[in-house]
Amino acid sequence: MSHLTSRFNLFLTLLLLAAGLLTTPVALSGASTLAGIEKSGELVLGTTANMPPMTGKREGKIVGFDIDMARLMATGMGVDLKIKTMAFNELLPALEKGEVDVVISNMTMNPKRNMRVAFVGPYMTSGKCVVTKQEGIAKAEAAENLNSPDIRLAALKGSTSAEFIKVLLPKVTLTLVDDHDSAVSLINEDKTGGLLTDYPICLSMLQRYQDAGFVSLFSLLTYEPIGIALPGNDPLYINWTENFLKRLEGVGVLDELGTRWFGKAVVSTTGE
């Protein structure tokens, strides 16, 4: 563990002590998900691990903003974190089947998803952006400037970015990808003109591929509240997570995580 990582973990521990999140387990009665988590000693997280810096892989380990927050959840419960990685469009089905306890994976809270599961948040707000090498796409001033059969864009399967293209840019040639690295390959091979994704992912891609000649078009046309997905039938679990998130925000932990993963406190829960 690096010196900087040790200092960061120590700082978070102090913040958690101040927030009252470092506790010893207490017995829970009833059929709450929390009781099952306490009994197993594990909080099972569902995530994609392919959308850095929110959730990704580094040196064989799953890391990112979302992963740090999930570890803090587990710490607050007094249990270990177990991570299950899967495709983005498999996350909510896994949550509904009880295969994971929580989904934290740069997931936008929207009405369609909220019909299936509960959401707590947002812990961050975002908007759409396009990573591209094409000057014409990068200079588009509005969504309608992109709505042309000559424009080719990629988006992650099951994402709000894919829905954005289908609904607002119906003339665009859409290619669905399993992960963002696949989209990078398609852009480099000129098989698509760009990748439509969320603001934090754009920031990360521009940093990771600094020599690729990528530019980005940032859009203020969408409001993307990013949240924590939970089973929809457990008020106690939802209530615990709401209070957990408020405490993280209240003592500055969300800002610290933003600084760690984005270089600045870009986290906003207000839509600003």
How far apart, in Å, are the Cα atoms of 112 and each of 119, 131, 216, 230?
Answer: 12, 26, 28, 15
Domain assignment present for 271: no
Count of domains for the chain: 2
- CA–CA gap between residue 201 and residue 179 (Å, rounded): 11
Confirm whether pTM is higher than 0.85. Answer: no
Domain extent at residue 91: 3-125+225-262
Concatenated DSSP letters of 33-72: HHHHHHHHTEEEEEE-S-BTTTBEEETTEEESHHHHHHHH
User: Could you tell me if 175 and 203 lie in one domain?
Assistant: yes
Domain assignment present for 41: yes
Domain assignment present for 243: yes
User: Could you tell me if 85 and 176 lie in one domain?
Assistant: no
User: Could you tell me if 253 and 162 lie in one domain?
Assistant: no
User: Could you tell me if 8 and 68 lie in one domain?
Assistant: yes
User: Could you tell me if 29 and 112 lie in one domain?
Assistant: yes
User: What is the rounded average pLDDT for all residues in the chain?
Assistant: 84
User: Could you tell me if 236 and 115 lie in one domain?
Assistant: yes
How far apart, in Å, are the Cα atoms of 96 and each of 45, 100, 103?
Answer: 13, 8, 11
User: Could you tell me if 185 and 229 lie in one domain?
Assistant: no
Domain assignment present for 179: yes
- CA–CA gap between residue 155 and residue 157 (Å, rounded): 6
Confidence of residue 3 (pLDDT cuts 50, 70, 90): very low
Domain assignment present for 161: yes
Least confident of 55-64, 138-147, 191-200, 253-262: 138-147
Q: Work out the burial of residue 190: count CB atoms within 10 Å of its CB; fewer than 13 is exposed, 13-18 middle, 19 or more buried.
A: exposed
User: Could you tell me if 83 and 13 lie in one domain?
Assistant: yes
| Tally of CB atoms within 10 A around 226 | 25
| Angle, helix 3-19 to helix 65-77, in steps of 10 degrees | 50
**pLDDT number for residue 216:** 76
**Span 166-176, pLDDT tens digits:** 998 999 999 99
Q: The domain spanning residue 96 has which CATH number?
A: 3.40.190.10
| Tally of CB atoms within 10 A around 163 | 14
194, 140 Cβ separation under 8 angstroms: no
Q: Mean of the pLDDT values across residues 35-50?
A: 95
164, 266 Cβ separation under 8 angstroms: no
Domain assignment present for 75: yes
User: Could you tell me if 9 and 105 lie in one domain?
Assistant: yes
With 60 as the cut, is the pLDDT of residue 105 above it?
Answer: yes
User: Could you tell me if 153 and 115 lie in one domain?
Assistant: no
**Span 44-72, pLDDT tens digits:** 999 999 888 899 999 999 999 999 999 99
Domain assignment present for 133: yes
**pLDDT number for residue 23:** 54
Domain assignment present for 267: no
User: Could you tell me if 231 and 118 lie in one domain?
Assistant: yes
User: Could you tell me if 105 and 173 lie in one domain?
Assistant: no
